[in-house]
Amino acid sequence: MTSVAGPDEDGDRRNVSDAAGVVALGACVTWSLITGTVHDGRPEGVLLAVLAVAAGHAAGRICGALLPVAAPVAGALAGLGLAVVLPHLSREPQVFAPLGHAGATAALLTLSAGAACCASWTATSRTLRLALRALAAGAAVTAAVLGSVTGFVACLAVLLCSLASGRVRHRGAGIVSLGLAAALTTGLTWAIAARAVPDGLLVSLEGRLTPHRIELWRDALRMARRDPGLGVGPGRFAELSTTATGTAPSDGKPHSAVLQQAAEQGVVGVALLAVAFCWVLYTLWRSPRPTPVALTAGAALTALAAIATVGNALSFTTVSAGAGLLLGLATAHPLADEPSQPASDLRPYGDRLTP
């Protein structure tokens, strides 16, 4: 059943979501400082990532309120441009494929596809909507041209999820599905690192992920088991991993955000990472934007989470800022009322919704 929230209720939702975000991100910062102090770690990377997410979120909320169509289009074009030139913007060593910058390229293209699809649901002109969906498809084509299979699959998945979101009656079911997808990806990664998958499947996955990446994961898991409470300290994986120190060139990352948190900040760090992602989904659930916009952004951010689970995407500030920007755009409250979806499209927006 469709229900439209009033201005006061929308304001209460934003206040609750914002407060939850402050608590979640603040806890991530605090814990990184604690573990860094105990183990003489370097929490600067975590602090920079949290700052980038917060800054991107704030910018997205402002730009999304003022320019609900133009802002995500600009973000999509910026992401496409950065994905092409990213290796030239980083000071990190050019690690051999498929490690290195492949994860960041796939992440930026996925966020670009998500932003373009969000803009298409806000546009009033059918021609513009088709053009913006073509832009999202262009992100997938760009990923294929750059040789990023992960990026191609992720962009295509975001585009398909966006088209399907127009038929969703209640966004709550879609949000839960996205959370389960992220949990399954995380569980599979952990199972591979722990050798808890059948041998045949493990051999097949090693061929795609490379033995080097899996050895990095296993190093991270060994560190997590050594000190499950506090981990070895943020930024210390590179000096303690035999796989990373024995490989040149190396970026010193385990190429899995979850396993890096487990190794460097223990189970509490993993729990806080999960809380931060749950806050993202909760914010989208409570968003005043139409359901397709919220679910499209959720699909893009879930795809980013999956990429980060098997890569080093979150090690790049541009990716963290882009994720925050997309979340802000999808949760902004436009100053002007958004138009109803044309009858020529799939179906009405669905519930705005009262959770």
Domain range list for the chain: 7-331
Q: In 3D, which of 202, 204, 196, 243 has the Cα closest to residue 220?
A: 243
113/48 Cα distance (integer angstroms):
25
The pLDDT score that the predictor gives to residue 199 is 83
The pLDDT score that the predictor gives to residue 11 is 60
In contact, 333 and 65? CB cutoff 8 Å? yes
C-alpha count within 13 angstroms, C-beta hemisphere, residue 310: 26
C-alpha count within 13 angstroms, C-beta hemisphere, residue 72: 35
Pair of tokens at residue 131: 């053009």
Which burial class, exposed, middle or buried, applies to 33 when counting CB atoms under 10 A from its CB (0-12, 13-18, 19+)?
Answer: middle
In the 8-state DSSP scheme, what is residue 345?
A: S
55/49 Cα distance (integer angstroms):
10
203/314 Cα distance (integer angstroms):
27
Chunked into runs of 10 residues, the chain (355 residues) has average pLDDT values of: 49 78 95 93 93 96 94 96 72 43 85 97 94 96 91 96 91 95 95 89 83 91 92 89 69 87 95 96 94 96 96 91 97 72 42 41
Assess whether the previous peptide bond of 98 is cis (omega < 30° from 0): yes
Other Cβ atoms less than 10 A from the Cβ of 85: the count is 8
Indicate the pTM of the whole model: 0.89
187/192 Cα distance (integer angstroms):
9
Q: In 3D, which of 330, 20, 321, 338 has the Cα closest to residue 171?
A: 330
In contact, 355 and 285? CB cutoff 8 Å? yes
The pLDDT score that the predictor gives to residue 202 is 83
Question: What separation in angstroms does the CA of 78 have from each of 84, 140, 327?
Answer: 10, 15, 16
138/176 Cα distance (integer angstroms):
29
Q: In 3D, which of 246, 228, 244 has the Cα closest to residue 236?
A: 244
